[in-house]
Amino acid sequence: MTVTKNTLIGDVLDFDVETARFFFEIGMHCLGCPHSRGESIEDACNVHGTNADELVKKINDYLASKK
């Protein structure tokens, strides 16, 4: 999986639940909420005042390291 800013949080979590830690690190503690699972990474980062590009890079680097 390659994650982009438009990727839904729920899709990332379904692909690899261990990615939750990256969301928790930036204050997204509501990952079980149905609304948050349907949000794009970019939308969630905008709400939480964080950088979507940095989060996407962290997640993609993590996923690439598991190959």
Q: What is the DSSP string of the chain?
A: ----TTSBHHHHHHH-GGGHHHHHHTT---TTSHHHHTSBHHHHHHHHT--HHHHHHHHHHHHHHT-
34 or 59, which is more confident?
59
Q: What is the domain range of residue 48?
A: 9-65
Instruction: Look at the chain and report how many structural domains it folds into.
Output: 1
Which residue has 């940095």 as its token pair?
54
| 2 within a domain of the structure (yes/no) | no
% the chain with pLDDT above 70: 100
The mean pLDDT of 34-38, rounded to a whole number, is: 82
- Report yes or no: 3 and 41 within 8 Å, Cβ to Cβ: yes
| 1 within a domain of the structure (yes/no) | no
Whether the model pTM is above 0.75: yes
| 33 within a domain of the structure (yes/no) | yes
32 or 5, which is more confident?
5
Q: Cα(32)–Cα(2) distance, rounded to whole angstroms?
A: 22
